[in-house]
Amino acid sequence: MNFNFKDYLQAPLEILKLRKKWKMLERIRSREEKQYLLNKYILERLKFICSYSKQHIPYYRDEFLHYEFDPEKIDGFDYFSKLPIISKDTVRTNFEKMQSDEKGALNAVMFQTSGSTGTPLYFFKDKYANAASFAMFWRVWENGGEWRIGNKIAALTGYEDGKYFYQWKTRLLKLSSFYLNEENALLFYNLIKKFRPKILRGYPSALYLFAKLLEARNLSLKFPIVITESETLLDFQKDFIERFYGAKVMDHYSHWEGVGSIYTCECGKKHLLQDFGYHEIITDSGKAAKPGEEGRLVCTGLYNRVMPLIRYDTRDLARLDENQSCDCGSVFPIVSQIFGRVEDVVVTPDGRFVGRLDAAFKYSKNIELSSIYQPDINNLIVSIAPTKGYNYDTDEKPLIDELRKRLGDKINIKVNLVKNTDIPRTKGGKVRFVISDIPAEKKLGHI
């Protein structure tokens, strides 16, 4: 069975139970006590998921035996981190063995990631995992105080079945990023004006393009909060989205696997939601990152029984903030940056690995949409959908100069001007900022 929105609501009592638990932890005033009780809760959940896996999941039963890992012995995070990190390939290869023998009773629903690198990944989530996801989105969207459950919301994402759709049950107006062009920007603008949602959320590339198209028509659209999701939020997008919508931009990282969630608090810091999924940031050497260090984001889902993901490599990169305290009162760890996929890195002919190339676009204002393609180690093709004011001296030259600063002189850089519809999208309608034909595995050891 494939996912349908109502699957989120299979276990409404679970949603309320979790919400109550999470809120209780949030409300504790003393930082020390809060941290202590939070750790205790996460460890209880890890112990539960691992014990369940030992009992019901053949794959983990074998693995635990092999690593002499006993869930009952989990007395801290160090012991838990003895377990190996699993990848998407682990899930693909052991698909049957990773499923619970209680699958029938758990209301299992099949999910699929959009497979932006080619092969899609299938996995199952059960009623507990779906309840946790619902409670998590509820909590993230209401953060900031502008939206309450029952309020209207508009979303500009990869909706596939037409230009737009009203999902009345959830008071959601879905607008399709696939159809976003000059003409439909006006249609979407009018739909939003009529629907009057409290907040706007969507893919950063789409929200940015929508704002550019409205600005070109001298139209304005204001929201107190804009939630960006699903793609890496690039700095120039954030600046423009903030300015155009007059909004506080709250970036939210999550994924279909439902094991990780990073939200932006009212102070603008990015917190790892450790009571939704246990997040670890693991450096190249396999150790936990220290404040200031970057590493791969490895997550363990705390609720899914039908197909638990234990120490699952998301292939996203993040840097742990040097300053781990925040005025919002949360004790969840803070990351300063989420870098997006390992794949979003360009390799230079002299063997360097360069990420966050979005920063090279900071002086080039007349660009609607862009993407970078690296066919091989010596070449880089930058596709740009220009706006009307685009010209070589103010946009293209500064961009090439900035790219050169980061990538050096040895790589050939070619700029192609294209229509925004010619910029490739994934099946889910997301724009991949960097597309590379250099295998990710070659890059992995170097980040």
Q: Does 328 bind Zn ion (CB under 5 A)?
A: yes
Q: Could you tell me the smallest distance in angstroms from the CB atom of residue 261 to Zn ion?
A: 14
Q: What is the C-alpha separation between 202 and 193, in angstroms, rounded? A: 17
Closer to Zn ion by Cβ: residue 326 or 345: 326
Which residues, listed in sequence order, are joined to residue 327 by a DSSP beta bridge? none
Q: What is the DSSP letter of 395?
A: I
State which H helix or E strand residue 440 sits in: helix 440-444
Closer to Zn ion by Cβ: residue 313 or 321: 321
Closer to Zn ion by Cβ: residue 255 or 269: 269
Q: Where are the alpha helices (DSSP H) in 125-224?
A: 127-142, 182-195, 204-216
Q: Could you tell me the smallest distance in angstroms from the CB atom of residue 267 to Zn ion?
A: 5
Closer to Zn ion by Cβ: residue 108 or 272: 272
Which listed range, 58-66, 330-338, 374-382, 421-429, lies at the site for Zn ion (CB under 5 A)?
A: 330-338
Measured CA to CA in angstroms, residue 435 lies from 231, 380, 383, 410 at distances of 14, 10, 11, 19
Question: Binding marks (x or -) toward Zn ion, 244..283, rule CB under 5 A?
Answer: ---------------------x-x-x--------------
Q: Could you tell me the smallest distance in angstroms from the CB atom of residue 253 to Zn ion?
A: 15
Q: Could you tell me the smallest distance in angstroms from the CB atom of residue 276 to Zn ion?
A: 16
Closer to Zn ion by Cβ: residue 279 or 305: 279
Reduced DSSP (H G I as helix, E B as strand, rest coil) percent helix, strand, coil of the chain, to 5:
35, 25, 40
Amino acid 62 reads: D
Q: Which two tokens stand for residue 364?
A: 């080039």
First CA to last CA across the chain, in angstroms?
A: 38
* 225 within 8 A of 144, measured Cβ to Cβ: yes
Number of residues this chain uses to bind Zn ion (CB under 5 A)? 6
Residue 408 phi, psi (nearest 5) = 85, -175
Closer to Zn ion by Cβ: residue 98 or 273: 273
Collect all residues with Cβ–Cβ distance below 8 Å to 39 and sequence separation of at least 6.
77
Residues 39-78 touching Zn ion, rule: CB under 5 A, are none
Q: Does 381 bind Zn ion (CB under 5 A)?
A: no
Q: Could you tell me the smallest distance in angstroms from the CB atom of residue 250 to Zn ion?
A: 11
Closer to Zn ion by Cβ: residue 269 or 432: 269
Closer to Zn ion by Cβ: residue 63 or 321: 321
Burial, 264: exposed, middle or buried (Cβ in 10 Å; 0-12, 13-18, 19+)?
buried
Q: Could you tell me the smallest distance in angstroms from the CB atom of residue 31 to Zn ion?
A: 12
Closer to Zn ion by Cβ: residue 269 or 443: 269
Q: Could you tell me the smallest distance in angstroms from the CB atom of residue 225 to Zn ion?
A: 15
Q: What is the C-alpha separation between 309 and 94, in angstroms, rounded? A: 12
Q: Could you tell me the smallest distance in angstroms from the CB atom of residue 337 to Zn ion?
A: 15
* 158 within 8 A of 35, measured Cβ to Cβ: no
* 294 within 8 A of 318, measured Cβ to Cβ: yes
* 332 within 8 A of 310, measured Cβ to Cβ: no
Q: Does 212 bind Zn ion (CB under 5 A)?
A: no
Chain mean position to CA 321: 18
State which H helix or E strand residue 65 sits in: helix 58-66
Q: Which two tokens stand for residue 309?
A: 């993901």
Q: What is the C-alpha separation between 288 and 123, in angstroms, rounded? A: 27
Q: Could you tell me the smallest distance in angstroms from the CB atom of residue 140 to Zn ion?
A: 13
Q: What is the C-alpha separation between 360 and 369, in angstroms, rounded? A: 14
Q: Could you tell me the smallest distance in angstroms from the CB atom of residue 30 to Zn ion?
A: 17
442 SS3 class: helix
Closer to Zn ion by Cβ: residue 26 or 102: 26
Q: Could you tell me the smallest distance in angstroms from the CB atom of residue 269 to Zn ion?
A: 4
Closer to Zn ion by Cβ: residue 31 or 446: 31
Residues 307-326 touching Zn ion, rule: CB under 5 A, are 326
Residues 170-189 touching Zn ion, rule: CB under 5 A, are none
Diameter of the chain measured on Cα atoms: 65
In the complex, which residues of this chain contact Zn ion (CB under 5 A)?
265, 267, 269, 326, 328, 330
